[in-house]
Each structure stands twice: as C-alpha cells, then as structure tokens.
Amino acid sequence: MIANNSGPHLWFITHQELKNWLESIINHATLIAPQYCDGVVLFKPTTDVNEIAWGDTRPAMSIKEAFFPPTEQLMIVEKRGSEIKITENLFSDKQVIFSLRPCDARGVKVLDSAFITTEPEDSYYSRRRANTALIGRTCQQMSETCFCTSVGGSPSDPGDMDVMLTDTNGGYLVQIVSDKGGELVEGVNLQSTSISLQAEPESARTLAPQIGDWPARFADNYWEVLAERCLSCRICAYVCPTCRCFDVRDEALSSDNGWQEFERIRCWDSCTSEAYRRIAGGHNPRDTKAKRLKNRVFCKFYYYPQQYNPVACTGCGRCIEACPVNIDITEVLQHFMEVADANRA
C-alpha cells in the first residue's frame, strides 16, 4: 500500500529503467525470472528481459530449485585400481532472482535454517545461496489459495529480500533491504520520491494450531480419513518452497583407459512417498498413507519449528492447487484449530 507518510526510505524507478537494470544484470549474472512456458508461469533463467512475465501470477513451482535443484551432481569419482580421484561440483556462478514473492523469500529463509544455520552446513546449498541476490515484488492481489497472512507472512513483506519493488504509477517503488541489495543497485538510475508505504493491515487470524496442541493429534483418526484419497504422488512436496528431503545416489558413468567414472547425485524426495522410510530388511515405520500425510503436516507445523525455528509453511497455496485429489492444507489446519479450540472451551 502506498501513502505519503513516514516509513522505510524508498526510491522510484521507471519500468524502462528497471528493464535496463535487469539487462545490465544479465551481463554479469544469471537472471532468473518468471516466464510463460507452455502457458504456465515458471521461474527460468533468461537472457532477454522481454521474456519476463510481468503480471501478478505466482509461478507454479517455487524458487527452491535455484538453491536446491531437483537433481544435482555433487561430485565425480574416478577410480583405477586403488587410485581414486574426487572432483566436487561446487556452484560458483552469480545469480539474481527477479520478481520473487514474499512467501517464496520466506521459503528460502526456511531452507537456510536447515541447510546453513544448523550444523553441519550444506556447502552445495550455501554456495548457491551466497551467490544469489533476491529482488522481490509486492503481490498486488492474493490468489484464492494464498494464506501467507495466516502463517506470519504478508504480500508486501520485504524482510527476506535484498531489494523490494512495489508497483506504482508509471514504475516501481524500490526499497533496499540488505547490503547485498545495496551493491546490486549501484549505478542504477533510482530517483528520489516523497511517496512511502503505509503500515501493513493487521494479519489475519493464525491458522495453525499452537505447537503444544499437536502431540494430542498424533493418533487422530482424521489422518486415516484424509489419507483415503491421497495418491502418494508427492506433487505437494515438489511444488512446496520448504520441502527439502532428498535422496543421494551413485551412478556409474563410463570407463576408459582403466579408469571407471561415477557420479554422486542428489535428487528431491518426499516423505509422502511409500518408499521414503523403508529401511534395510523391508520394514517401513510409515507404512500407511495416513502416517505419511501426518508426517508432512507435523513436519511443517511441529517438528520443523522445534528443530529449526520457523514454521515450514509460507502459505503459498501451491500444494492446494497441485494436489490431484483436492487435499487442502488449510482445511487440515482449520480442522485441528477447531479441535484445539473445542478442547480449550
């Protein structure tokens, strides 16, 4: 929201100057921005600012793959007899993400908590994170499935960005949020403005039950009812900005002159998959869809906040849109809120 009152210091940039700025970024970094791909908006690297989807449509996939790719080669191992050579594949490029929404920047912060802040640091993730700057945009309108305001977020929250843009007449208001953002705007034609941002309206009622309410829901029959229609397809985890489970595999590549070459890769995995918790001997402690669905929700709202601090749901609503059988996380939360309220009454 825009007003003529006090608030964070802002600058103004025209749409054309913004395009010029993004073009200059392309000269020294990979620019990742929303683009239409077969009718679907996705974050993709671009070398042409005219390819950018400027509208308010939230990309179907989150930005996590810029930090944590769906499949990533971690290292190459070469072996000849007892000789072994290991070459790690560490990311060294620069990347700038444009038109990130506050919920997705919050998702990056959630991933930081697991991959960087908590020991041991994941060097594959942290290299990408250190080499990436985030240029955000305020959401003009929340979509039907968005609920960021019910999990502590807001459509205009700049807190997890480096630079934040807010659409205004003829251009954008620019807020420089971090030192990295300050470096990014060096040399950019920013104009002074007397316009400032209005205070955010109060957030909607928190949707998630309190931490202490969750243990009593562990044996709830609701999970069985919900799971009757779950397909264990894992789409909810793949579209989610905060789901971060992965599998690590070694694959044989080639052999030449007595050298055998292998690659170690990691790829996304999900706790909603049937095989995820299967252990040696075939035992599976999460052998039903109900147990797996419960784990996903408990992870986001009970395990993760205790282990890493933030709630691991940003309210982006992607899992609601993507689930082929209409399992809606807000309905799950609403159900348990009502149960908790009834127990307190």
What backbone phi and psi angles, to 5 degrees, belong to 145?
-95, -5
329 touches ligand SF4 by CB under 6 A: yes
CB distance 239 to 61 below 8 Å = yes
CB distance 13 to 191 below 8 Å = yes
Region from 116-124, 156-164, 248-256, 318-326 binding ligand SF4, contact rule CB under 6 A: 318-326
Task: Name, in order, each residue with C-beta under 8 angstroms of 60's C-beta and a sequence gap of 6 or more.
Answer: 40, 41, 42, 239, 318, 321, 322
What CA–CA distance (Å, rounded) separates 307 from 119?
A: 12
Count of residues of this chain found to bind ligand SF4 when the rule CB under 6 A is applied = 26
317 touches ligand SF4 by CB under 6 A: yes
Cβ nearer to ligand SF4, comparing 45 with 324: 324
- Shortest distance, CB of residue 105 to ligand SF4, whole angstroms? 12
288 touches ligand SF4 by CB under 6 A: no
What CA–CA distance (Å, rounded) separates 313 from 47?
A: 32
Region from 65-73, 80-88, 116-124, 232-240 binding ligand SF4, contact rule CB under 6 A: 232-240
- Shortest distance, CB of residue 13 to ligand SF4, whole angstroms? 30
Cβ nearer to ligand SF4, comparing 135 with 236: 236
What backbone phi and psi angles, to 5 degrees, belong to 168?
-145, 175
What CA–CA distance (Å, rounded) separates 108 from 316?
A: 13
- Shortest distance, CB of residue 224 to ligand SF4, whole angstroms? 14
**DSSP assignment of 123-163:** HHHHHHHHTEEEEEE--SS--TT--GGGTT--TT--TT-SE
Region from 121-129, 176-184, 202-210, 314-322 binding ligand SF4, contact rule CB under 6 A: 314-322
The token pair at 292 is 């797996």
Cβ nearer to ligand SF4, comparing 18 with 316: 316
- Shortest distance, CB of residue 251 to ligand SF4, whole angstroms? 26
The token pair at 245 is 């489970």
Please report, for the chain, how many H helices and E strands are present, in that order. Answer: 10, 14
Cβ nearer to ligand SF4, comparing 152 with 171: 152
234 touches ligand SF4 by CB under 6 A: yes
208 touches ligand SF4 by CB under 6 A: no
Region from 7-15, 91-99, 228-236, 333-341 binding ligand SF4, contact rule CB under 6 A: 228-236
- Which residue shows structure tokens 């191992």? 77
59 touches ligand SF4 by CB under 6 A: no
Give me the 238-277 binding string for ligand SF4, x by CB under 6 A, dash otherwise.
Answer: -xxxx-----------------------------x-----
Q: Taking Cα atoms as reference points, which of 147, 99, 160 lies closest to residue 317? A: 147
Q: Contact positions toward ligand SF4, by CB under 6 A?
A: 230-236, 239-242, 272, 300, 313-319, 322-325, 327, 329
